[in-house]
Amino acid sequence: MITIGIVIFPNVEELDFVAPFEVLSYINKIAPNSTNVMLIAPSLEPTQAFNGLKILPDASFETAPTLDILLFPGGQGRIEWMKNPLIRTFIEAHQSETTYLTSVCTGAFFLAEAGLLLGKEATTYHSAFDELAAYGVNVVSSKVVHDGKIITAAGVSSGLELGFYLLRELFGVKLAQEVAQKIEYTIDINSL
């Protein structure tokens, strides 16, 4: 089973984390026990997202298990949280164990702030390209950009593409395409 941790924080953009959560969890309806997708927050207290959705995390930074994939969504809250020492400590504690470090939208700034995107190709929300480039990142205008163990996705709805990209990498084209058909999302898995 692949353990995937999605980091949430106050004022996270809902679709940034819900879209990959849905795609990466749905595979279990086809191939049971394929993934364990968890929401991880600074504490176990309810977290309120940018548009008002209240979320109960599965784990805190202190109680998070070993992770195969670590995913950072973006949103207005990232401006404060990307510089928070708790985030940096959490990334440092888990980066070596992960197969992939990933982001959606402005979640890329969590990886950039930790120095993990320096000299790498990455993407983010289109209006934040210049800001990300200032971190020494080669910014690419694409839905999904894969550079080593780093996989970044563009703005908001691109979390769907990130989810399918990860399914393809982990479980193959056929299973990823089946998940897309089941959730009625049209995508060419091979073109990701």
From the list 130, 86, 140, 137, the residue with the least C-alpha distance to 116 is 137
> Which sequence positions are flagged as catalytic?
105
Cβ neighbours of 161 (radius 10 Å)? 22
